């Protein structure tokens, strides 16, 4: 398995020189500054690639080449957006970058209610609290029908939290949820979020699946021509959010993505944290089942609560059997005879991470701890083969 590290480019508070000290050999990044729907210019890709090479790395995975929201909504007149997307693919391939991670979550990317939840023995982690999410949807956004999406006991806790929370706590909750906006630089206030949500009125799960199928039909043939592979990222969390459907949350969903365009270039990013937040998902089994279509892996762990809440655990300490997942991936590698790039996904903010103020979930020390733990598992399993 090939060790990589997510780097947010020149905007990142973590330098490539620091990443080098983690032991990772590949970089996962994107041109985050390019507005969605515009072409990634060949010279901009080359400049970023040269920067990565000069630091002693290879650019292994694009995460992500974003899908414009108009495509997810299935609007009319999408030809120019698809043409721009294919041109960006060609420009990436011309620079030797051939693995693209993307997601098809409407409006929001990952969603958390707490960016700095305390963990035992010090440090903080990302957390999704079901009652806080319910309070946000029901009492702050006032979304029609939101009450129907939560159990009575969760709604009771949501009401109690909302009645006790002042403006500062509500602002912190809004900021945490908005941190999951793609690109994570623009933010909505409550009124702007209500307006943004109206653009998705009536969008069903079937609609979103059809729109994903059209996207794949537009890009996978080009990927085949260019020698590229695509790997969809699962929903995070694996449930509908703000009334918006999500369609990559379990094994059945993933198989439906593969069936939409049945080609090896249409693959999966195995995110053990996103999928692990759904208690029905058996991650080692999914790694074996979909092994031939796994082109990239995000390895992290979560600890689940019965009400649907969860928080980021240490990489070996949550509810997912990470050793079994890695064992399955190593077996897939041996069969395929090609390495699977993986990165230590999310980490606790530890020690000096708190002062650094890196992107939420992407601290230096916490991820380095995670990478070290994962590296140890890989080494031990390889020794036993």
What angle do the packed helices 205-226 and 79-94 form, to 10 degrees?
40
Interatomic CA distance for residues 340 and 83, integer angstroms = 29
345 has catalytic annotation: yes
Tokens, residue 133: 């999410």
Among residues 298, 327, 348, 349, the one annotated as catalytic is 298
Strand spans (E) along 277-334 = 294-299, 302-304, 310-312
SS3 for 208-236, per residue? HHHHHHHHHHHHHHHHHHHCCEEEECCCC
Among residues 85, 346, 348, 349, the one annotated as catalytic is 346
E strand or H helix at 314, and its extent? none
Among residues 114, 235, 236, 345, the one annotated as catalytic is 345
Interatomic CA distance for residues 212 and 224, integer angstroms = 18
**Residue 263 phi, psi dihedral angles, 5° rounding:** -150, 145
β-sheet bridge partners, residue 241? 244
Interatomic CA distance for residues 149 and 133, integer angstroms = 11
348 has catalytic annotation: no
Are 95 and 42 in contact, with CB atoms under 8 Å apart?
yes
Interatomic CA distance for residues 2 and 295, integer angstroms = 11
β-sheet bridge partners, residue 99? 229
Interatomic CA distance for residues 47 and 218, integer angstroms = 28
Interatomic CA distance for residues 156 and 14, integer angstroms = 41
346 has catalytic annotation: yes
Q: How many Cα atoms sit within 13 Å of 361 on the Cβ side? A: 29
The residue with tokens 């997912």 is 320
Strand order across the beta sheet in which 302-304 lies: 114-118, 124-128, 310-312, 302-304
Are 265 and 228 in contact, with CB atoms under 8 Å apart?
yes
Among residues 101, 125, 231, 271, the one annotated as catalytic is 271
298 has catalytic annotation: yes
Q: Which residues are catalytic?
A: 233, 271, 298, 345-346, 362
């Amino acid at each position: 398995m090939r060790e990589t590290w997510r780097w947010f480019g020149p905007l990142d508070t973590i330098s490539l020189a620091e990443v080098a000290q983690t032991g990772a050999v590949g970089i996962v990044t994107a041109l985050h500054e390019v507005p969605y729907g515009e072409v990634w210019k060949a010279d901009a890709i080359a400049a970023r690639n040269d920067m990565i090479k000069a630091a002693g790395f290879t650019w292994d995975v694009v995460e992500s080449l974003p899908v414009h929201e108009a495509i997810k909504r299935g609007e009319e007149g999408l030809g120019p957006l698809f043409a721009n997307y294919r041109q960006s693919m060609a420009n990436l391939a011309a620079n030797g970058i051939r693995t693209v991670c993307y997601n098809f979550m409407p409006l929001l990317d990952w969603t958390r209610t707490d960016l700095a939840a305390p963990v035992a023995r010090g440090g903080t982690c990302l957390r999704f609290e079901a009652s806080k999410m319910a309070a946000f949807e029901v009492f702050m956004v006032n979304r029609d029908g939101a009450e129907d999406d939560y159990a009575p006991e969760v709604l009771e806790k949501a009401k109690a939290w909302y009645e006790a929370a002042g403006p500062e706590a509500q602002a912190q909750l809004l900021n945490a949820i908005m941190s999951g906006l793609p690109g994570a630089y623009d933010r909505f206030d409550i009124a702007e979020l209500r307006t943004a949500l109206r653009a998705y009125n009536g969008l069903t799960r079937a609609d979103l699946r059809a729109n994903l199928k059209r996207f794949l039909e537009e890009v996978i043939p080009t990927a085949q021509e260019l020698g590229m592979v695509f790997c969809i990222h699962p929903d995070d969390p694996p449930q509908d959010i703000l009334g918006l459907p999500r369609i990559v949350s379990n094994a059945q969903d993933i198989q439906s993505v593969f069936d939409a365009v049945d080609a090896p270039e249409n693959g999966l990013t195995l995110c053990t944290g996103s999928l692990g937040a759904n208690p029905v998902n058996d991650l080692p089994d999914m790694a074996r089942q979909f092994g031939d279509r796994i082109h990239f892996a995000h390895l992290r762990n979560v600890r689940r609560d019965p009400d649907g809440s969860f928080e980021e655990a240490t990489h070996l300490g949550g509810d997912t059997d990470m050793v079994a997942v890695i064992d399955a991936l190593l077996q897939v590698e041996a069969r395929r005879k090609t390495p699977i790039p993986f990165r230590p996904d999310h980490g606790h903010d530890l020690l000096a991470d708190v002062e650094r103020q890196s992107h939420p979930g992407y601290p230096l020390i916490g991820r380095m701890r995670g990478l070290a733990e994962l590296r140890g598992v890989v080494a031990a399993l390889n020794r036993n083969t």
